[in-house]
A and B are shown apart, each in its own frame.
Chain A
Amino acid sequence: MTTSTLLLITAAIAMIGYLAGSRRALALAGGRSSSMHSRPGYYGSFVAIWSALPAALLLGVWLIAAPAIINSSIRGEFPAEVKAQSQASQGLSFGMIEGIARGMRALSAEEAAQAERNPADLRNLMAARGVAIAGDPEAYMIKAANDLNSMNARSDLLRNVAVLLVAVGGAALAYRLIAPRFRARNRVESVILASLVVASSIAILTTVGIIASMLTEATHFFARVPAHEFFFGTVWDPRFAAAGATASEGQFGLIPLLLGTLYIGFVAMLFAVPIGLFAAIYMSEYASQRVRSITKPLLEVLAGIPTIVYGFFALTTVGPFLRDISSQIHGLATGDYSNFIQAQSVLTAGFVMGIMLIPYVSSLSDDIITAVPRALRDGSLGLGATRSETIKRVVLPAALPGIVGAILMTASRAIGETMIVVLAAGVAARIQLNPFEPMTTVTVKIVSQLTGDLEFTSPQTLVAFALGITLFIITLCLNIYALYIVRKYREQYE
């Protein structure tokens, strides 16, 4: 019986438990469910939970523990000379044994007996059945493989019996507990509550895990490169070519990347915030219901375009356009038709990223502006204020904290953006203030540091984690601050 059949049977038992539980509850109540503490469905659910949950838990534990126990018991039987080998080669031997065991199950009894007599044939025999064995099997391996097979079979059988027993036993126990004053609803609800808690803690634990893994790798990096050289270094030169040579570890200065990130993000916000905000004001205050129902989803489509597509747009359209128009302007002014805007530049990346961010700003701000109570607008209009005075003096000030929060959240997206920058602003890490020249960002460098042939322990690779954790902390702070502001804003009306 496979695991999935087992699960199905357990589910069936739970189902039967549910039906029997609700029936019994109804029967005990004499058909009047009002004399019971809970509705019949809760008693049914109680029985179902008691049969399925412990059984599922047992199955989970078994699936994790049994292979480990069998593994160690097989290894314990290894001949002394194999045990003397390193852990890694012992692992290889065990892998071969697993392969043989799989093959043995495919052989007929006759063939298996033949194989045991003559291990050398085994490889060909199994290859014929589509099971590949890494090397020539040794005699002890065949015995171990047989042991493995029988242990697995025994473990499976035991498991099936135990799980089914627990399922039936749990159901029976819960079934007996059903009584008119038994508080089934409270029990069922506490299980549901627990599952909600588990669901939310999974998200949190994952975050913690991500931070932990980045922190570990980042500490490895800081063991090789001093922290102050990373955080305050002004030169980014990881020296890929000379990797491994101790004399030239390279320089890992964060400053040029951080400046590039903030600069490009700033230019992007320069485009996104006014346009997005005006769009939001139009849609929430002036647009008729019909226009709003068309334009709002259209704007939100912009948010669904993959950023690499924006990258293409920047690379093939916006970049060349800016370059050409700059050479025209320069030519008209001085007679020298050389371009002063590079095709790949801070401006190009910022502009295209700004377009990408418009829907974030407009959609979030639109929601916030719409949430300003109608009573406030009426109050202002009732005093003879015009619509625009009402928006400027009452609606926007009331929505301002929320809008600032929305802008900060958008900013943390701008900081995390990668693909547009790679294609639109290039990969040159430099410190300069001319928006017409290329620059690059932290995320771009993380990608380029991790996509190489370098060994994973070199600082050239590990620096990606230090960059990642720095970026993470920046965006985390931005988001926390934004949430703080948004929360303060909500309190005003509640």
Chain B
Amino acid sequence: MNMMTEAAVEKALDQRMNDLSYKMIGKDVSVYYGEKRALFDVNLNVRQNTVTALIGPSGCGKSTFLRTLNRMNDTIDSCRVTGRITLDGDDIYDPAIDVVELRARVGMVFQKPNPFPKSIYENISYGPRIHGLARSKTDMDQIVEASLQRAGLWNEVKDRLQESGTGLSGGQQQRLCIARAIAVSPEVILMDEPCSALDPIATAKVEELIHELRSNYTIVIVTHSMQQAARVSQRTAMFHLGQLVEENDTDKMFTNPDDQRTQDYIMGRFG
């Protein structure tokens, strides 16, 4: 009897640990653009300190799902989200949640590098400044340097921090945008096809960066490249026609998927 209780307690604890290891939980998430429904009751959880890749053919809703995670869909007038998404257990669509605070915790890197037409330094210091993260100039200098270091860009730009961020190469610009996102110290980083506008060498650098960032951040990445998903992620979710087809360990997903549609997509039979 006593043993049973202990086992039950252990199980409950395990359950609790599992819940905690989910950084974000999406339950029955549906998205509508006006009359058109783009996502159908998606249940997808994002694990702490893990890279989760979202794959699927164009228009399958993977970017839409990604954008619900930090409410970037709010900027589209006709967009409506139903269901429940939590970050550390708090519903992010709760009216009590400040979207500004949410986006500081869930940062985003976009498909096309979009540095501000300001200096490299100002690009990085932009986020910390609006959130009041630095108390002095030296604080700010440290944040800028640390962010650029982490993004692996410091050695390339340390002598030209005052030059315009738009003057960098495409790959450098994207790493600048990642550094810009890191500077706000987010807990989750969302990446929407971050390498689709980059050449293979720049892509390799960004992938290496994603790999390193995993120890400190939870990362969700949308990608069209199956190889990239296989290289950078531990968990993979496959979307098709607005529905979540399968979510699994990346290794299993690419060797022995549960769903036939995943198999077909990975083998290149459609998409």
Q: Could you list which residues of chain A lie within 8 angstroms of chain B, going by C-beta atoms? A: 288-289, 373, 375-386, 389, 393-394, 397-398, 492
Q: In the complex, are the beta carbons of B70 and A382 less than 8 A apart?
A: yes
Residues of B within 8 Å of A385, CB to CB, are 100, 126-127, 130
Give the CA-CA distance A419 to B131 in the complex, in Å: 52
A373 to B116, CA, bound (A): 10
The distance from the CB of B191 to the nearest CB of chain A, in whole angstroms, is 11
- Interface contact A376-B77, CB-CB below 8 Å: no
In contact, A375 and B114 (Cβ under 8 angstroms): yes
Q: Tell me the bound Cα distance from A375 to B105 in angstroms.
A: 20
Name 13 extra pairs, CB < 8 A, besides A377-B75, A385-B126, A394-B116: A289-B77, A373-B114, A375-B112, A376-B117, A379-B115, A379-B177, A380-B126, A382-B110, A383-B127, A384-B103, A384-B130, A386-B130, A393-B130
B89-112 contact mask (Cβ, 8 Å, vs A): 1 or 0? 000000000001111110111101
Which residues on B sit within 8 Å (CB–CB) of A389? 130
What residues on B are CB-neighbors of A492 within 8 Å? 117, 166
Instruction: Decide if B110 touches A381 in the complex (CB within 8 Å).
Output: no
A397 to B70, CA, bound (A): 26
A381–B72 alpha-carbon span in the complex (Å): 8
Q: Mark B69-81, 1 if CB is under 8 A from A, else 0.
A: 0101001010000
For A379, list chain B residues within 8 Å (CB): 110, 114-116, 177, 180
Candidate in A384, A389, A397, A398 with the most chain B CB atoms within 10 angstroms: A384
- Would you call A384 and B131 a contact (CB within 8 A)? yes
Knowing A389-B130, A393-B130, A492-B117, the reply to whether A382 touches B108 (Cβ < 8 A) is yes
Return the contact of B103 from the options A377, A381, A398 (Cβ within 8 A): A381
Which residues of the other chain, B, contact A373 by a CB distance below 8 angstroms? Answer: 114
Tell whether, in the assembled complex, residue B126 and residue A383 are in contact, meaning their CB atoms are under 8 Å apart: yes
Q: When chains A and B are docked, how far (Å) is the Cα of A289 from the Cα of B77? A: 9
- Asked whether, in the complex, the Cβ of A383 is within 8 Å of the Cβ of B180, the reply is yes
A250 to B104, CA, bound (A): 72
Q: Is A386 a contact partner of B100 (Cβ separation < 8 A)?
A: yes
B197 to chain A, nearest CB (A): 11
Indicate whether B181 reaches chain A with its CB closer than 8 angstroms: yes
Cross-chain contact of B116 among A288, A289, A380, A381 (Cβ < 8 A): A380
Q: Could you name 10 residue pairs across A and B whose Cβ atoms are closer than 8 Å? A: A376-B116, A378-B110, A380-B116, A382-B72, A382-B107, A382-B110, A383-B107, A385-B100, A385-B126, A398-B117
Determine the chain B residues whose CB is within 8 A of the CB of A377 once the complex forms. 75
Distance in Å from the Cβ of B173 to the closest Cβ of chain A?
A: 11
Write the residues of chain B forming the contact surface with A, with a CB cutoff of 8 angstroms: 70, 72, 75, 77, 100-105, 107-110, 112, 114-118, 126-127, 130-131, 166, 177, 180-181, 184
User: Are A375 and B104 CB-contacts (below 8 A) given A384-B184, A394-B116?
Assistant: no
Give the dominant DSSP class at A's interface. helix
Q: Which residues of B contact A397 (CB under 8 A)?
A: 117-118
Alpha-carbon gap, A81 to B104, bound state (A): 101
Q: When chains A and B are docked, how far (Å) is the Cα of A384 from the Cα of B116?
A: 15
Residues of A within 8 A of B110 (CB): 375, 378-379, 382
Report the minimum CB–CB distance from B106 to chain A (whole Å).
9
Smallest CB separation, B192 vs chain A (Å):
10
Q: Which residues of B contact A380 (CB under 8 A)?
A: 116, 126
Residues of A within 8 A of B70 (CB): 382
Residues of chain A lying within 8 A (CB to CB) of residue B104: 383-384
Chain B residues, CB < 8 A from A383: 103-104, 107-108, 126-127, 130, 180-181, 184
Docked Cα-Cα span, A398 to B166, in Å, equals 12
| Separation of A394 and B180 alpha carbons in the complex (Å) | 14
Instruction: List the 10 shortest-distance A-B pairs measured between CB atoms, nearest first.
Output: A384-B104, A382-B108, A375-B114, A384-B103, A383-B127, A379-B114, A384-B100, A385-B130, A389-B130, A398-B117
On whether the beta carbons of B117 and A384 are closer than 8 Å, the reply is no
Q: Which residue of the partner chain, among B77, B105, B118, contacts A288 with CB atoms under 8 Å?
A: B77
- Measured in the bound complex, the distance between the Cα atoms of B189 and A383 in whole Å is 10
Q: How far is the CA of A397 from the CA of B75 in the complex (A)?
A: 21
CB distance from B211 to the nearest CB of A (A): 22
How far does the Cβ of A395 sit from chain B's closest Cβ, in whole Å?
A: 10
**Which of chain B's residues have a CB closer than 8 A to the CB of A378?**
72, 75, 108, 110, 114
Tell me, in angstroms, the Cα distance from A377 to B76 when the chains sit together.
12
Residues of A within 8 A of B107 (CB): 382-384
Contacts of B127 in A (CB 8 A): 383-385
Nearest CB in chain A to that of B113: its residue = A375
The closest CB in chain B to the CB of A395 belongs to B116
Q: Give the nearest-CB partner of B128 in chain A.
A: A383
- Residues of chain B contacted by A375 (CB below 8 angstroms): 110, 112, 114
Contacts of A393 on B, CB cut-off 8 Å?
126, 130
| A394 / chain B contacts, CB cutoff of 8 Å | 116, 126
Q: Which of B127, B130, B166 has the most CB of A within 10 A?
A: B130
Which residues of A lie under 8 Å from residue B177 when comparing CB positions?
379
Q: How far is B107's CA from A168's CA once the two chains are assembled, in angstroms?
A: 75
Q: Is A376 in contact with B114, judged by CB distance below 8 angstroms? A: yes
Taken together as a complex, chains A and B put the C-alpha atoms of A376 and B117 apart, in Å, by: 9
Contacts of A398 in B (CB 8 A): 116-117
User: Smallest distance from the beta carbon of B187 to chain A beta carbons, Å?
Assistant: 12
Chain A: CB-nearest residue to B78: A289
CA distance in complex: A389, B104 (Å): 14
B174 to chain A, nearest CB (A): 12
Which residues of the other chain, B, contact A382 by a CB distance below 8 angstroms? 70, 72, 103, 107-110, 181
In the bound complex, how far is the Cα of B17 from the Cα of A3, in angstroms?
97
- Assembly CA distance A339 to B116 (angstroms): 53
Q: For B116, list chain A residues within 8 Å (CB).
A: 376, 379-380, 394, 398
A308 CB to nearest chain B CB (Å): 41
CA distance A384 to B103 in the complex (A): 4
Instruction: Kindly report which residue of chain A lies nearest to residue B177, judged by CB atoms.
Output: A379
Distance from A195 Cβ to chain B, minimum over Cβ atoms (Å): 40
Q: In the bound complex, how far is the Cα of B184 from the Cα of A384, in angstroms?
A: 9
Query: Closest approach, in angstroms, between the C-beta of A273 and any C-beta of chain B?
Result: 23
Pairwise interchain contact B75-A381, C-beta atoms closer than 8 A: yes
Q: CA of A58 to CA of B177 in the docked complex: distance in angstroms?
A: 66
A373, A377, A378, A393: residue with the most chain B Cβ atoms closer than 10 Å: A378
How far, in whole Å, are A83 and B155 apart by their CA atoms in the complex? 94
Select from chain B the residue with minimum beta-carbon distance to A378.
B110
Instruction: Report the minimal beta-carbon distance from B15 to chain A, rounded to whole angstroms.
Output: 32
